[in-house]
Amino acid sequence: MLNPFKSKTWTDPDGTVQLIKRLFSENFRTYIPQYLLAFVFMAMIAATTAASAWIMRDVVNEVFVNKDSTMVYLIAITVLLIFSLKGASTYGQMVVLARVGNSIVADLQRRMFDHLIRQDQTYYDRLSLAEINVRVGQGVNAARTTLDLVIVTLGRDILTLIGLTFVMVYQNPLLSLFALITMPPAVIGVAFLVRRVKEYAKRQVVSTAKIGAAMQESVLGVKTVKAFGMEPIMRKRMEVGVLEVQKQSNKIASLSARTSPLMDTLGGFAIALVIFYGGYSVINLGQDPGALFSFITALLLAYDPARRLARLNVNLGKQIVGLRLMYELVDSEPVMQDKENAGDLQIRGGKIEYRDVAFSYGESAALRGASFVAQPGRMTALVGASGAGKSTVFSLIERLYDPDSGDILIDDLSITSCKISSLRDNIGYVSQDAYLFNVSIRDNIVVGKPDASIEEIEEAAKAANAHDFIMALPEGYNTRAGEGGNNLSGGQRQRISIARAMLRDAPILLLDEATSALDAESESKIQSALETLMDGRTTLVIAHRLSTVRHAHQIHVMDQGKVIESGTHQELFDHDGIYRRLCELQFQNRDEAAE
C-alpha cells in the first residue's frame, strides 16, 4: 500500500528536497576530504564568533567595573587573536568551497554536454538552441549556488548560532527565552514568501529563453534580417522577453527583500525586549552588567546568521527551477537505442529497400507508405515537388528517426537490427548546403575519417576538385572556414563536403543535390567530382536537375509521402505522368530564363 508519508508528493510537492538531496548525493562523496576541511574552518568561525561575544563580559566587568589595567592588555590581545583566527578561517573556508564548487560546475558541464551530444534528432526538433543555453547556463549556476547556500548556511551559520546560543543561555537563560519568541512569526512569514518566489522564478526562465531565441535568430539570420529591414520586428520580439524578465526579476527582488523588514522588525523587537528587561534587572536588581553585555553582543551577532538561515528557503526557491531544468536535461535518454543483440552492419552490395514506410513528424505525416528499391552500386534518383518527403527518406535511412510503420532494409536486413553507429559508418552524406565548422579546412575534411593522413586528405580534396581552390586560399588547408563556412562560397563548401564523403569512402552515398544556382564552372567541377564519388557506390540522389536524373539507373517520383512512379528517364517521360510534367516545368523555366 502506498504510504502517504513516504510519498514524495506528500512531503515535498515540488520536489525541492528531492532535487537538493540528489545534487548532494551525486557530488558530496567525491569531495568529502575538502568538505571536512571546510567544516573545520566553519567550526573555527563559529567558535571565534562565540568567543568574541563571551569576552564582552570580561571587557565590561574587568575594564569598566573593576578598572583592572593588567587585564586591559590581556583582553585586548585576546580580542586581536580571536579576530585574526576568524579572518584566517573565513579565508580557508571560502577558498576550499570555491575550489569544490568550480570542480562540480566543470563536471556538470561535461555531463550535460555528453548528454546533449548523445541525443537524437527528435530532441533537437523540440528544443531550441536558446532553451538549451538557458538550461545549461542556469542549471550550472543553480547547482553551484545551491551547494554554496546549503553548505555555508547549514554549516557555518548553524554552528555559529549554536555557539552564540550557548553563550546566551550561559549568560542569561531567561533572556534567551525572550529572544526565542520571535522565531515562529519569522518562519511563517518566510514560508509564504518562498512559495511566491518559486512561482516567479519559473516564469523568469521561460522569458529568458525568449530573449535567447530572439538574439539567436537575429544573429543566425542576420542577412535576411538586414535584407528585409526586419530590425524593428526583431527588436519588438526581444522587447517582449526583456520586459517580462525585467518584471519578474523586480517581483522576485521585492519578494526576497521583504524578508529584510520582516526580520529586522522582529529582530528589533527581540533586542528591545532584552535591553528593557536586562537593563531593568542590572539597574534595579543588581545583576552582573558584563553578563548582560555579553548576552546582547551574542544576540546581535546571532542576528545575521539567523536571518540567512530564515532566507535560505527563499534563496533556494530561486534556484530550484534551474536545478530542475538541468536534471531534466541530464535525465533525458536518447529514444533511439541499439537493440540488445545488434551487430555491425555488413554491406554485401548495398541494396536499399523501403517497404511501405510511414512516418510523421508529430502530427504532420511526411511519408505515407513509401516503397522503392535502390539497386546496389547504381545511382537512384528521387524527384518530386518540395514537401513530397525526399529529405525525410534520407533522414530515416540514417536513422535520425525511426519509421512509424514499415521497414527499411539494407541488403535485405532491417536497419534496426544493426548498431546505429555502424549503419552511419557505412553511409556518406553530401548535403545541399554542407555545414562547415569554424576550424581549418583540413579539420573540416577529416571529419569524414578522423585518422586520415595528410596525403589521404589531399587526395580526397583533389578527387573532389577542391585541392586547387584550397591551395589558392591564404593559408591553404589551414585556412579557417568561418562560422558555418561563411568564408567560402556555396560551390566551395559543397566541394569540401564531397571531399569529406570521398575520405569516408562509404559504400552507400546519400546525395542532396544543390538547388541553388551555381556558376557554370563550379557546377561542372562539382558534377565531375560527384561522378568520381558515386562510382561503384549505391547512391541515392535527391535530384533537382534533369542532367542528374538522365544518368540515373532508376528514378522514383515522390508525391505526398509516396513513390508514385518508378522507371528510367525515358520510360517515365513516355508514361506521361507527374514526372513528365515536372520535366516540362523545368524546360519551361529554362526557356523563360533564356528569354
> Between residues 233 and 585, which has the closer beta carbon with respect to ligand ADP?
585
**Least Å from the CB of residue 384 to ligand ADP:** 6
CA 531 to CA 463: how far, in whole Å?
10
The 8-class DSSP code of residue 23 comes to H
Cell numbers at 558, concatenated: 515522390
CA 231 to CA 214: how far, in whole Å?
11
> Between residues 132 and 457, which has the closer beta carbon with respect to ligand ADP?
132
Footprint of ligand ADP on this chain (CB under 6 A)? 125, 361, 364, 366, 384, 386-392
> Between residues 306 and 366, which has the closer beta carbon with respect to ligand ADP?
366
> What is the distance, to the nearest Å, from the Cα of residue 80 to the centroid of all Cα atoms in its chain?
49
> What is the distance, to the nearest Å, from the Cα of residue 385 to the centroid of all Cα atoms in its chain?
37
> Between residues 194 and 557, which has the closer beta carbon with respect to ligand ADP?
557
CA 213 to CA 228: how far, in whole Å?
19
**Least Å from the CB of residue 115 to ligand ADP:** 21
Residue matched to cell numbers 553585555: 293
- Sheet-wide strand order for 405-410: 364-374, 352-361, 405-410, 413-414
Q: Which residues pair with 410 in a beta bridge?
A: 352, 413
**Least Å from the CB of residue 564 to ligand ADP:** 13
**Least Å from the CB of residue 37 to ligand ADP:** 52
**Least Å from the CB of residue 389 to ligand ADP:** 4
Burial zone of 203 (CB within 10 Å; 0-12 exposed, 13-18 middle, 19+ buried): middle
Q: Which residues pair with 355 in a beta bridge?
A: 407
Residue matched to cell numbers 571546510: 38
Residue of 548, 570, 571, 572 whose CA lies nearest to 558: 572
**Least Å from the CB of residue 561 to ligand ADP:** 7
**Least Å from the CB of residue 432 to ligand ADP:** 10
Angle in degrees, CA 232, 234, 236, rounded to 5: 70
> Between residues 236 and 581, which has the closer beta carbon with respect to ligand ADP?
581
Inter-helix orientation angle 520-534/454-463, to 10°: 120
- Give 11's contacts (C-beta < 8 A, 6+ positions apart): 5, 17
**Least Å from the CB of residue 401 to ligand ADP:** 9
